[in-house]
Amino acid sequence: MDQVNKKALEELVEYQKKGCHMLVPCMEHIDDVAQGFRLIVTPITLRPHPKDKDVYPHESSHYDQRANDWKKYYEVGQKKEKVPIVVDNELVRISGQGLEKLAQNVNVIWSQPAIETDRTNKGRQVCYITAALRMPDGFSFYRVPDLYGMDLDIEMERLEAQYREENQQWLRDRDFLQKKVNQTKLCISGAKNRCIRKLLGIDNAYTVASLALPFVSVRVIPWLDMTDEYTRKLVIESNVKQMAIASIFGGQPPVTIQEVEKNAIEYVGDIPKEKCLGNDVIDAEMTHYHLDPHEEDVPFALGASPDAAGKTPESLRFDFQNCDIPGQSKALTAIIGKKGQDAFVASWLKQFKAQPATLETIGPNSRLKLYDHLCGLPDAEKGKVAA
């Protein structure tokens, strides 16, 4: 091994000892570098504040979306005692912008995206794409394929559930039009983001403090022997030709998402509905809520706390949908008590195959269905308990 690669390996070991985030999942035998190739070790720093768009809050109620900043404290107990928030312990997720930054520094190689449109449902599309990294031997590649699908019928159902009031129909139409116009682009970016996370071993969430340490990438690049006269002559001739072309026509513009869409392979096939469900979309950076164990009330439990006052049913449902499992369970328990539906829910839980079934063990879709059912019932104190 030459001295340059040896120094790169030593640098890599030092980063690893410091606890940095290592983006080298395919380099188990990285010391076996082929002749004519060099290792390039690059530290990449992501900005830990959500306002910089490299990350966004994950299951946190301590981020003020309107102020676009972390809250200074949260209130605890009936006396509303103010407890300082330790921002360093807050969880954040890497956004689409942050993932793209990591992919460019690692030099991810992409296949042509393949866009499949369903032959019977034209609103159903799936994008297939493969990401690859060059292995230390210089010639083989570590490949990770993935896909992302979108069904416009399902998207419309989600928007109708979100905007159910008559005066909100224009919001539904606006959001649906954006998804319909940008469907291909959303499918491509969604598939790329899923590949990046799998290829580089990106964790689901990081603490703000942990992002003070950089992500460390390793690239394997060809390294020409410039001491050889013939090699040096070829490199100079190639550079002169590129400079001449650039002086006349300008430099080569960066590849845009429109060019990627233009070069995408499009075909028609049969797409199962399951391929358009359950995708973890990084681009959809929704607000997530985390139930603090010190909080006595749940803000979205249909008026269970003053925070729910003035909120529309759609807003409360949206908050419930983006809460963690303990928060959803506590909200449902509060609503069940308010509606007087303890017996009904106990009987309803017996339908599940896995017993004993609880509000925590059933799936998120089942909890949402139960939430919608309970919201349509009158309160128990009114004497109109529904069957």
What is the residue extent of each domain of the chain?
3-221+254-276, 306-382
Coil vs helix vs strand at 161? helix
What percent of the chain clears pLDDT 90, i.e. is strictly above it?
16
* Segment among 69-78, 208-217, 237-246, 262-271 with least mean pLDDT: 237-246
pLDDT at 9: 84
Residue in the block written with tokens 């070069």: 263
pLDDT of residue 124: 93
pLDDT at 33 over 90: no
- CB contact at 8 A, 159 and 177: no
Angle at 299 between CA 366 and CA 89, to 5 degrees: 95
pLDDT band at 44 (very low <50, low <70, confident <90, very high): very high
What single letter denotes the amino acid at residue 361?
A: T
Least confident interval from 69-78, 193-202, 204-213: 69-78
The answer on pLDDT for 290 being more than 80 is no
Q: How far is CA 298 from the centre of its chain?
A: 26
Q: Distance between CA atoms of 222 and 129, rounded to whole angstroms? A: 25
Q: Where are the alpha helices (DSSP H) in the chain?
A: 3-17, 96-106, 152-162, 169-181, 183-200, 229-249, 257-262, 313-321, 325-339, 342-348, 364-375
Residue 246 binned pLDDT confidence (cut-offs 50, 70, 90): low
Q: Report the range of poorest mean pLDDT among 38-47, 53-62, 142-151.
A: 53-62
Nearest to 334 by CA among 375, 294, 369: 375
Nearest to 187 by CA among 286, 134, 118, 106: 118
pLDDT at residue 233, rounded to an integer? 76
Closest Cα partner for 232 from 240, 223, 224, 242? 224
- Within 13 Å, how many C-alpha atoms sit on residue 9's CB side? 15
pLDDT computed for residue 225 by the predictor: 67
- Token pair for residue 71? 């809250």
In the block, residue with structure tokens 């925070």: 307
Identify the residue with better confidence: 384 or 39: 39
Token pair for residue 223? 């390294």
- Cβ–Cβ < 8 Å for 57, 288: yes
pLDDT at 76 over 60: yes
Residue with tokens 């790169």: 8
Residue 68: is its pLDDT beyond 60?
yes
Instruction: Give the separation between CA 21 and CA 42, rounded to whole angstroms.
Output: 12
64/72 Cα distance (integer angstroms):
10
- List all residues 6 or more positions away from 44 whose beta carbon is below 8 Å from its beta carbon: 23, 101, 102, 105, 214, 215, 216, 217
The separation between the first and the last C-alpha atoms of the chain, rounded to the nearest angstrom, is 77
Task: For residues 270-285, give the mean pLDDT.
Answer: 68
Q: What is the Cα–Cα distance from 157 to 135, expressed in whole angstroms?
A: 44
Region 159-175 average pLDDT: 85
Work out the pLDDT band at 210, boundaries 50, 70, 90: very high
CB neighbourhood size of 48 (10 A): 19
**Average model confidence (pLDDT) across the chain:** 78
pLDDT at 104 over 80: yes
Q: What element of type H or E holds 267? A: strand 265-269
Out of 143-147, 262-266, 378-382, which region has the weakest mean confidence (pLDDT)? 378-382
Identify whether 57 is preceded by a cis peptide bond (ω within 30 of 0): no
Find the mean pLDDT for residues 284-305. Answer: 39
Distance (Å, whole) CA 300 – CA 298: 6
The answer on pLDDT for 85 being more than 90 is: no
